[in-house]
Amino acid sequence: MCYHLITFTEGGCNHRWATKRHYIDCNMTVCRLSQRHSSETHKCPAECIDMNLPDQSICLYQQPGLCYTCRGLETPRMKNYDSEDDEYDSENDE
């Protein structure tokens, strides 16, 4: 099942903030959300899986400094990455 994986950074103040959002494709042909979805391999109305898992989050990075909020700054918006080619989605840039 396809889902979004959000990576977090944790600061020295123990606060976390989201940095990147990856789309994880399950690559199942019966998953309607997958890019591999193929209606030729199954009967869509009966066998298709149409389920979106909730976003998963993982803390990947740690940094000794304070988070943006503790420094009185605005936390930058997380970046969106495509899972296939890791291409930066400039639409979501500032």
Count CB-CB contacts under 10 A for residue 31: 19
In angstroms, what is the minimal distance from the CB of 59 to Zn ion?
A: 14
| Interaction of residue 78 with Zn ion, rule CB under 5 A | no
Query: Please, are residues 5 and 62 in contact by the beta-carbon 8 Å criterion?
Result: no
Query: Please, are residues 8 and 68 in contact by the beta-carbon 8 Å criterion?
Result: no
| Interaction of residue 73 with Zn ion, rule CB under 5 A | no
Of 16-24, 62-70, 73-81, 82-90: span binding Zn ion (CB under 5 A): 62-70
Among 70, 87, 88, 92, binds Zn ion (CB under 5 A): 70
- Which is nearest to 58 in space by CA: 15, 19, 2, 12? 19
Among 44, 78, 79, 83, binds Zn ion (CB under 5 A): 44
Of 16-24, 60-68, 73-81, 82-90: span binding Zn ion (CB under 5 A): 60-68
* Max Cα–Cα distance, the chain, nearest Å: 55
Alpha helices in 34-91 (DSSP H): 44-47
Question: What are the residues binding Zn ion (CB under 5 A)?
Answer: 1-2, 13, 15, 26, 31, 33-34, 44, 48, 67, 70
